[in-house]
Structures are given as C-alpha cells and as structure tokens.
Amino acid sequence: MSEVERNGAAGDANAAGQTHDLRRTRSIRFSDSEWEEVKRAARGHDMPAAEFVRRTMLGLVRAPDGGDPASVPPSWAPLIERMFRYAWFLATEKRDEMLREGRGEEVDRLVAEARAFQESLRRGAPD
C-alpha cells in the first residue's frame, strides 16, 4: 500500500477531520530509552505510540499559549518542587548564618525585596 493509499485509508482518523488534509510520514528520532518511555505513556492512554506522540504534540502547539516553551509541563512538577526545597534549605541556612553574624537588618532588607518581587509576579500573573 502506498503512502497516499495509507493516508486515504486513515482519512477518517485525521485530527482535523478533513480527508483532503492527508497525513504524511514524518521523521523524528528518539533514543531507545526515550521511545520506551513514549510507548509506556501511550499504553497508559490506551493508544498506539505514534498516535500518542501526534496528539501530545498537537495539544502542545494548539494550547492557548501557542506551545510557548516557557510553559511548564505538569511532569516537571516534582523536579520543580525538589529544586524549591533545595533552594529553601540553602536560603534558610544562609539566613541563620547571617543572623548569627549580627546581619539581621540585611536579612530584613532581603526578605522585603523578595516579598515585593513576589507580589509583582502575583500582580502580573494571568487570572
């Protein structure tokens, strides 16, 4: 079966719902371990790996933020939380050290600046 015949046969499954917008084979490279991750995730969604990749990528690029690379995938939440905990620990240790050295006013100034910055981020965040 030729590519055109395969695309025609799959026309009803086209994400755009338009049979005249035929799908074509594209090349993308994955390492073996990456592809195993994709296949596991696809099985979790009860779909073939290729369909999972297509739906996931189209969902990303069609997202309201336009697939902005600055947006954070939910899968990154544990990493972000771990990094936050490390930063909190180091900041707490440094604060305690500064207080022991009698630099309390400097600590208060740094905390005030951090809170002002946090508030500016909060005001600028979308509702």
**Secondary structure (DSSP) of 5-38:** HHHHHTGGG-TT--TTS----------HHHHHHH
Q: State the average pLDDT over residues 52-58.
A: 88
CA distance 92 to 116: 19
DSSP SS3 for 1: coil
Q: Give yes or no for residue 6 having a pLDDT over 50.
A: no
Q: What are the tens digits of pLDDT across the range 59-111?
A: 877 776 665 656 677 777 788 888 989 998 999 999 999 999 999 999 999 99
The pTM of this model reads 0.39
What's residue 28's pLDDT? Answer: 87
16-42 residue pLDDT tens: 555 567 888 888 888 999 999 999 999
